[in-house]
Amino acid sequence: MEWARDIFQENSVSTRDLIQPIFVIPGANTEEPAPGLTGVNRYTPDLAAKRAKEVWDVGIRSAMVLPCPHPEMKTLDAKEAINTTGFLAEAVAEMKEAAPELGLIGDIALDVYTTHGHDGLMNSKTGVIENDATIARLAEQSIAQAQMGFDALAPSDMMDGRVSAIRAALEHADFQDVMIFPHSAKYASALYGPYRGAVGSDTSLGKRDKRTYQQNPANAKEALREVALDIQEGADAIICKPGIFYLDVIHQITDKFKIPVIAFDVSGEYAMMMSAAEQGLIDHDAVLLEKMVSFKRAGASAVVSYSASHVAELLT
């Protein structure tokens, strides 16, 4: 009997559990497909504002803004990351005007702004990613994004000690209310390809990888140690990335720390499902809803997904 099935259901998904990524590009009056992500577009600031309003209108209450700078904006020192008058700042201002109550989450990392595609600053002689120099730049980037109007910041760089440095910088600049949602359990996954294509960091990175600072996919205890450190340093919530491949990690984090955990349904996970649906191998919407409830069953408080707005439409 359906009524009994409904009242005894242990987990459910609502529109308020969803976070919609929005890709932003420089320019005006342009909406273009994001390479490798069927159905996902990139928007200039004026149209990102329209997209933000659409997201709000389907019941979603937060969006993660993902900048896609032009290649000529990329430098070794990631200077564009701290530009408070550039296209990202313009997008935030327009999105806030169009959807004032929509929470905006900023991505704190340098990969889209560096010529080499790494999340940190590289020593030009040794090729080593310099942790301390990167943290200093990330703190500057955090202040810049707080000044732009972001409500929360999501450091995705995986440098050691960056949460405490960002928290201290925000406090010093009188941005105490800006929250920090670090990617504490971010794995050196093979599932990020479509995202890197969408933001243009795939060309910069080439055949290099990020295993020196992202976590080993074979490890779970390592993630728990990283989460513990980030909580001590002032994290308000934790992001686990990728999502569906790491449900066990999400469960362990929520069970051990009782802190809100955000699952990130990454680009490769999205692309695989879209491909299977396009070939008629799965019922896309049924699988999508099943995937979302699996995140909640594992313990996630929220889910970042390129499918978020479509999930919201299915729920309403």
Which domains are delineated in the chain? 11-315 (3.20.20.70)
Q: What confidence score (pLDDT) does residue 205 get?
A: 64
Q: CA 199, CA 189: separation in Å to the nearest integer?
A: 17
Indicate the pLDDT class of residue 158, thresholds 50, 70 and 90. Answer: confident
- Beta strands 62-67 and 152-155: pairing type? unpaired
Indicate the pLDDT class of residue 196, thresholds 50, 70 and 90. Answer: confident
Q: CA 155, CA 186: separation in Å to the nearest integer?
A: 10
pLDDT tens digits for range 111-129:
999 988 888 898 877 888 8
| Active-site entry in 96, 186, 291, 296 | 186
Residue 85 has pLDDT above 90, yes or no: yes
Name the pTM for this structure.
0.95
Taking CB atoms within 8 Å and a gap of at least 24, the contacts of 274-278 are 274/37, 274/38, 274/39, 278/38
User: Averaged over 282-287, what is the pLDDT?
Assistant: 98
Q: What confidence score (pLDDT) does residue 2 get?
A: 87
Q: CA 256, CA 258: separation in Å to the nearest integer?
A: 6
Nearest-10 Cα torsion for 163, 167, 168, 173 = 140
Indicate the pLDDT class of residue 174, thresholds 50, 70 and 90. Answer: very high
pLDDT tens digits for range 177-192:
999 999 999 999 999 9
User: Averaged over 17-46, what is the pLDDT?
Assistant: 97
241 noted as active-site residue: yes
Q: Which residue spans within 202-288 are E strands per DSSP?
A: 238-241, 261-265
| Active-site entry in 74, 96, 210, 241 | 241
> From the CA atom positions of the chain, what is the Rg in Å?
19
Q: What confidence score (pLDDT) does residue 117 get?
A: 83
